[in-house]
Amino acid sequence: MVRAVTLSGALLLLLYVPSTFAVKTQDFKTCAQAGFCRRGRALASRAQETASWKSPYSVDSSSLAVASDQASFTAGVKSSLYPDIKFSLDVRIHDDGVVRVRMDEVDGLRKRYDEAASWALIAEPKLSRDISWTVGKKDVRALYGAKKESEVVVNFEPLRVALLRNGKEQVVLNGRGLLHMEHFRTKESSRPEGTPEEGLDEEAQAVMKVRPMAWFEGETEDGYWEESFGGNTDSKPKGPESLSIDIEFPNHGHVYGIPQHATRLDLPTTTGENPTYSDPYRLWNSDVFEYMASSTMSLYGSIPVMHAHAADSTVAIFNAVASETWIDVDHPTPKSTNTHWISESGILDVFIMPGPTPDDIFGQYARLTGTPALPAQWSLGYHQCRWNYISSDDVRSVQKRFDEHDMPVDVFWLDIEYAEEHKYFIWDKKNFPDPVDMMHDVEALGRKMVVIIDPHLKRTSNYPVYQEASELGVLVKGKSGDSEYEGWCWSGSSSWIDFFNPNSWEWWKRLFKTTSQGNKWSWTESTDNTYIWNDMNEPSVFNGPEISMPRDNIHYGGWEHRDVHNINGMLLPNITSQALIARSDPPKRPFVLTRSFYAGSQRFGAMWTGDNLGTWDHMAAGIYMVLANGIAGMTFAGSDVGGFFGNPEPEMLVRWYQVGAFNPFFRAHAHLDTKRREPYLIDEPYRGMLRDILRLRYTMLPVWYTAFHEASVTGIPVLRPHYVVFPRDEAGFTLDDQYFIGGSGLLVKPVVHKDVTEIEVYLPEDQVYYNYFSHHAYRGSAKGKQVIVPAAIHEIPLLIRGGSIIPTRERPRRSSPLMKRDPFTLRVALDKTGYARGELYLDDGETFSHLEGNIVWREFVAEKTAKKSKTIKISSSDLVSKNPDAAVDGVSLTKYDPLNAFAKSVEGVRVEKIVLLGLTSKPVGVKVEGGDDLVSEFVSGVAAEGKKEGEASVLIIKDPGVFVTKDWTIVIQL
């Protein structure tokens, strides 16, 4: 329901107001309502029903040319349906084994959109030097890899591409013959006559007599030249140009990824009986109001990346397409998966990542599209948002109340009401008379502000941002291509910046300068600690088709919106993050939150899962959506704590904070119509619980930051699902309600149901796991085992995997920058052999000086001096010198100096406590090697090395007098 509301007696707003929670499915297309999807699915059904089905596409082997570098070849491709239409095939093998398969139409009536990969990739991938293609009569093939374990085979007729490992097929393209690149045509030439295919069965031959192509393309020109939906007509001036490809994983029974959908991590089949999953997964960035917690409908962002997993192999696909795409998933057997990708336009540009492990895939994908940016450390703290904090005094009073209640918080957010008439950047001076002073008040306690900037510009002459954009000609054009497209959004009649136009980039960056730019407009009423939230960038257009832009709108270069839609949203945070870097000297790390995203968006900032509902279902969905985003690169992710819509009861709010505290991005947010629900407003005992959760998050910031550092180097996500950590454990392949945090060894299972007092947690191995809070030792089993963990409302099921060392900072502070010099606690959780290891990464948390080696990266190890020894040593050593290549993303620190400027600035930072779990007996001596005896307390309990369950033995070493930047060893004599 849309209704007009007056806020603060001044602003007339268009608001979505939830009546009952129900998505308006009728606002969004099903596959059957999208011509090309209907055609693609019908093609798949015909193929299934026709025993003699054969792909009409074949490689013209006479045209095959292997490049001089040997790593690639090109060849012509023909379709027997349209002998005059030419296609080209280009297959390349990268130096890390990734295979790229491209196919385009050659000399067509028009050019197909071929720039999706260039927006996603960080650079042109390096090709392998280790390839030699063997061209045979029926195929061309190449064996490669260290042990020649990988092979690519391209069959000529029909065209079929397979990647094999050790002779076993891993990924097959066009194995079912569903490849179809609808060539450009004129209306008149749309249906040329042809000759019936040989070898078709009788029924197909009969159809062919009437319509020669019909056995393949169907009998009607279904939605070729114009389509209408929901009262909007798409003029489709280019006619049909869709692209369909089947991708099989013959030896993989589970597929994950292709975010964003509110669905389980292990993607359910879409071709079975389940009505919830009767449509293919859709990728078409959309502002879906009150989305469902379980659906294949598209949401705000699209990453066409899919992992396929089996116990002995993980492979993955990145299908670099930017147009609307639908993906059917089917399991012909429990151990195999068929997928069918149907896109509205674009070329075929598929990257096959060979694995063979999930971690290898993360590396391969990161080499293509980049690793997640290392965020500013403060952005891992708690973010307080609401639509809206209505005035600068409101912001000040919220900050005051957090402090009065001893609740840590790093960031206060301003939603759209700060902006006069929703003209972003322009303060509504009635309510925000002193924005810079307000910011400084927030900054005084080390905190930051995030302010929303949406991509729609109010079309009015008193808005310099719109005026300049219009004069520069950088606004998206309507279907004529001459005039600015006009649509409706928060600011009323609006136009949209076309960030595909390079002329917009420097202009946009200038707007964020906090200093005067002569007679040009810039945001002088902001500070270097003002960060940005980019919303509505799908783009959301209230009166547009499916709440977005018409597909026949025109972008820079003459491309239609349909060609670029799924990339469109990522350009705003891309250029905005560059603007934030450029505004200060020395530059600071940017923070930009985006709602819409595409492959590669991980380089620009964080995302959140949009307008979730205050329901238990949505709380659960948030977890598996964040996991799915993470495996597709977008690891800095979270869902609105509390649920955007609705007024959560206290129990739900507490549980939601527990979920949020274990999300990479931790922000509470609420719709304009909801009751205020800042954590200090709730009654006791819940208020105390929320305070404890916030403090726990701050305690664990070193764990989060270390995990982000690893992600920024390796691409391995911060939240790690079971199949990633235990790729061989089949029982973990469907798990998405418990996960590991980075490589820390912390395993969490947030409670997402009402009235829970205990919960089953799955342990995947024969190992001891300790309850983080009670130190209770649980025993796993090699076959996998469920254990019962207490989970009353104030309890979070959080376990430490035996063998881990967890660094924390346990002094409550108001914000994370105030913790910079706080001492550390190390929780050493011995494994069943008496060993443990952990890492800690630190830098200044806000500049780029880490790229010059201003970092501290430590390894902590606890181990016995010999197998049966009664001496255990806990030591700290420098990891950078051991691993200069892995210290900072893309930079090798071979000349690293352990006494770098940052290390010096924290050289006084102590380890104030060591908590050692699972010793076999009370030590007779504890001392620093080469130093004095230390004070320690021992509480006897279960040993790591035994079989018993129960409270673990705990040794607490108080103030061991060692420093976090230094090498040291503590000797424990049993």
My answer on whether omega of the bond before 960 falls inside 30° of 0, hence cis, is no
Q: Is 841 helix (H, G, I), strand (E, B) or coil?
A: strand
Please enumerate in sequence order all residues whose Cβ is within 8 A of that of 258, keeping only pairs 6 or more positions apart, or say none. Answer: 267, 281, 283, 302, 303, 304, 305, 306, 327, 628, 632
Q: In the bound complex, what is the minimum distance in angstroms from residue 637's beta carbon to ligand NOJ? A: 14
Instruction: Give, as ranges, the residues between 655 and 714 that touch ligand NOJ (CB under 6 A).
Output: 669
Do residues 837 and 805 lie in contact, with contact meaning Cβ atoms separated by under 8 Å?
yes
CA-wise closest residue to 145 among 100, 73, 94: 94
Q: What does the alpha-carbon distance between residue 474 and residue 503 come to, in Å, rounded to a whole number?
A: 7
Q: In the bound complex, what is the minimum distance in angstroms from residue 132's beta carbon to ligand NOJ? A: 52
**# binding residues, ligand NOJ (CB under 6 A):** 10
Q: What is the DSSP string of 146-197?
A: TTS-EEEEEETTTTEEEEEETTEEEEEESTTS--EEPPP--TTTSS---PPP
Q: What does the alpha-carbon distance between residue 896 and residue 152 come to, in Å, rounded to a whole number?
A: 41
For ligand NOJ, which is the closer residue by CB, 16 or 556?
Answer: 16
Q: Does 614 bind ligand NOJ (CB under 6 A)?
A: no
Query: How many Cβ atoms are within 10 Å of 685's Cβ, its own excluded?
Result: 11
For ligand NOJ, which is the closer residue by CB, 415 or 484?
Answer: 415
Binder of ligand NOJ out of 387, 413, 698, 726 (CB under 6 A): 387
Q: In the bound complex, what is the minimum distance in angstroms from residue 948's beta carbon to ligand NOJ? A: 49
For ligand NOJ, which is the closer residue by CB, 416 or 637?
Answer: 416
630's enclosing H/E stretch is helix 616-631
Q: What does the alpha-carbon distance between residue 60 and residue 707 come to, in Å, rounded to a whole number?
A: 49
Query: How many Cβ atoms are within 10 Å of 376's Cβ, its own excluded?
Result: 22
Q: What does the alpha-carbon distance between residue 824 and residue 817 come to, in Å, rounded to a whole number?
A: 15
Please list the active-site residues: 535, 538, 611
For ligand NOJ, which is the closer residue by CB, 131 or 670?
Answer: 670
Q: In the bound complex, what is the minimum distance in angstroms from residue 594's beta carbon to ligand NOJ? A: 11
Instruction: Give, as ranges, the residues between 394 and 453 that touch ligand NOJ (CB under 6 A).
Output: 415-416, 452
For ligand NOJ, which is the closer residue by CB, 89 or 416?
Answer: 416
Q: In the bound complex, what is the minimum distance in angstroms from residue 669's beta carbon to ligand NOJ? A: 6
Q: What does the alpha-carbon distance between residue 546 and residue 548 come to, in Å, rounded to a whole number?
A: 5
Q: In the bound complex, what is the minimum distance in angstroms from residue 674's beta carbon to ligand NOJ? A: 11
Q: Which residue is nearest to ligand NOJ (CB)?
A: 387
For ligand NOJ, which is the closer residue by CB, 215 or 412?
Answer: 412
Q: What does the alpha-carbon distance between residue 919 and residue 652 come to, in Å, rounded to a whole number?
A: 38
For ligand NOJ, which is the closer residue by CB, 262 or 416?
Answer: 416
Q: In the bound complex, what is the minimum distance in angstroms from residue 163's beta carbon to ligand NOJ? A: 39
CA-wise closest residue to 576 among 530, 532, 624: 532
Q: What does the alpha-carbon distance between residue 789 and residue 337 come to, in Å, rounded to a whole number?
A: 35
Q: Does 382 bind ligand NOJ (CB under 6 A)?
A: no
For ligand NOJ, which is the closer residue by CB, 407 or 452?
Answer: 452
Q: What does the alpha-carbon distance between residue 674 and residue 690 come to, in Å, rounded to a whole number?
A: 19
Q: In the bound complex, what is the minimum distance in angstroms from residue 415's beta carbon to ligand NOJ? A: 5
Q: In the bound complex, what is the minimum distance in angstroms from residue 549's beta carbon to ligand NOJ? A: 17
How big is the CA angle at 301 (ends 297 and 303), to the nearest 5 degrees?
95
Instruction: Give, as ranges, the residues between 521 and 540 that touch ligand NOJ (CB under 6 A).
Output: 535
Q: What is the DSSP string of 502-542?
A: THHHHHHHHHT-SS-BTTB----SS-TTEEEEE-STTT--T
Q: In the bound complex, what is the minimum distance in angstroms from residue 385's beta carbon to ligand NOJ? A: 8
Do residues 258 and 634 lie in contact, with contact meaning Cβ atoms separated by under 8 Å?
no
629 to 648: interface string for ligand NOJ, x by CB under 6 A = ---------------x----
Q: What does the alpha-carbon distance between residue 380 and residue 809 come to, in Å, rounded to a whole number?
A: 14
For ligand NOJ, which is the closer residue by CB, 274 or 543?
Answer: 543
How big is the CA angle at 270 (ends 231 and 28), to the nearest 5 degrees?
15
Binder of ligand NOJ out of 611, 678, 844, 912 (CB under 6 A): 611
For residue 616, give both structure tokens.
């238990």
Q: Does 610 bind ligand NOJ (CB under 6 A)?
A: yes
545 to 574: interface string for ligand NOJ, x by CB under 6 A = ------------------------------
Buried b / exposed e over 750-767, threshold 16 CB at 10 Å, is: bbbeeebeebebbbbbeb
For ligand NOJ, which is the closer residue by CB, 596 or 699?
Answer: 596
Q: What does the alpha-carbon distance between residue 261 and residue 609 come to, in Å, rounded to a whole number?
A: 9
Describe the chain by its helix, strand, coil percentages, rounded to 5.
20, 30, 50
331 to 370: interface string for ligand NOJ, x by CB under 6 A = ----------------------------------------
Q: In the bound complex, what is the minimum distance in angstroms from residue 354's beta carbon to ligand NOJ? A: 38
Do residues 707 and 738 lie in contact, with contact meaning Cβ atoms separated by under 8 Å?
no
Q: Is the dihedral of CA 319, 323, 329, 332 positive or negative?
A: negative
Binding site for ligand NOJ (CB under 6 A): 387, 415-416, 452, 535, 595, 610-611, 644, 669
